[in-house]
Amino acid sequence: MREKKECFDFPRYEYRRLHTACIPATAIVSVRQGSGNSKFLIKEGDTVTEGQMIASGYKNIVPIHAPIPGIVGEISERVMPDGSCAECAVLRFEGKFHFEGKERIYADYRKKQGDRKLISLMRENGIINTFDFENHSLAEQILSSASNKILGVRLFDFDPGCFRDGFISSSFTAEVLEGAYLCARALHAETVVFFYDGRDFVIPDKKMTESVFDTIQCRFLKIDTKFYPSGSRRVLEKVVQKNIDSYLKNGAAKEKTHPLFIDSATAYSVYRCLCLSTPLTDTIVEVNGPALHEAKMIKVKIGTPIRCLLEECGGCEKEPAKIIINGLIKGTAVSDLDIPVTKYVKTVTLLYSDSLPDQNTSECIHCGFCRKACPQGIQSDLIYSHFVNKTPLSADILLSAHLCDNCALCNAACPARLPLYQTVSTYKEKENAAQL
């Protein structure tokens, strides 16, 4: 079947350096930093230190650490960047830092620690895998992928309107390589495959890769990112399968191999947490859009309100009509500037009214564009009609929702602006939850 892809004409932003945001006077730390809710270990009035574990995790749910020292002012429910609501602890800055601004001593975990110890450290430091929108615990993904012998690292952004992962790959190449190596060690991977965009990334020299990866194979594959979705799990798995003979030594294992994929941001987090012995208390966020005075790449404390990021960029040239979190294709529109940054926030895009497409929905006109656009051939219009209009639908068509690889091309193709991708995802999530 011919590969179905789309070309989106989004503006490209160039970032010369990473800016560090000011320490927020108040940090709003959510219990939902990944795929589920952690459990707070603190109460109102408590004093916390920077890096202190303030919420515990379990399996796919990661622990959370205080991004700043201070006093717990209140614990209440707030709106999150993904549009959901979650309990948050409001930390008022007070006291001294233990990590921020201090010289970090490099800890070489390459040979000193066993593989189980690496996984334990990833869990303890609260690292999530931001390769896709599931945002699971990286440690749990490695444990559940023990039979996989290939680690895939995407060095560019999934959404063509975002550039954070590409920036991290180019600006912190050595750190990303070392973080990827530690993941490969924990996974017992035989090969690490880096997928890169030739426009932005320069392959490191052989001396560097050999010094980092030692006996583990390291491959770099150039991906044509002009067309979307070039960075999806399905597309990258196909690329791996074409070259599988050169990646694995054991022929019997080749048929069962489904690589574990991470992005450059996840690899960079592994490096910083393990090699610099620092819990995950900050993240890198790209802030862009035509409504902004200046687009910037910013290192920011988790829990920082979005309005603080806008101030770091010099404010807005025009009143923003829409604020989009994590990309124009699959992102979430938010209206509250006090929504906090979480571990899974990659980009914040500000649009003014003139740059917004027509967002009014209408009845399905049965054009079939969504079916033509879908790489998996899912009939998303029929699934939508089944849930909204109670139209009878066969079980086979409903089950096809599990083939969805979350590209959201059906939404982009729909002239009626119907939430097709969201409907398919909702059904898939309900079915998965029912099977647990």
pLDDT by position in tens, the chain (length 436): 445 566 677 788 889 999 999 999 999 999 999 888 999 999 999 999 999 999 998 888 899 999 999 999 999 999 999 888 999 999 999 999 999 988 877 877 766 567 888 999 999 999 999 998 888 999 999 998 877 889 999 999 999 889 999 999 999 999 999 999 999 999 999 999 999 998 889 999 999 999 999 889 999 999 988 888 889 898 899 889 887 776 776 554 555 568 999 999 999 999 999 999 999 999 999 999 988 999 999 999 999 999 999 999 999 887 888 899 999 888 888 988 999 999 999 999 998 877 666 667 889 999 999 999 898 899 999 999 998 889 999 989 998 998 888 888 898 889 888 989 989 988 887 776 555 4
Distance CA 406, CA 330 (A): 8
Cβ distance 55 to 32 under 8 Å?
no
Angle between helices 420-435 and 380-389 (to 10 degrees): 80
Query: Burial letters for 183-216: b for 16+ Cβ neighbours within 10 Å, e otherwise?
Result: bbbbbebbbbbbbbbeebbeebeeeebeebbeeb
* Model pTM score: 0.90
**Tokens read off for 13:** 């932003």
In terms of Cα–Cα distance, which of 371, 403, 158, 174 is closest to 267?
Answer: 174
Distance CA 219, CA 268 (A): 18
- Sheet-wide strand order for 19-20: 19-20, 296-301, 282-288, 347-351, 322-325, 332-334
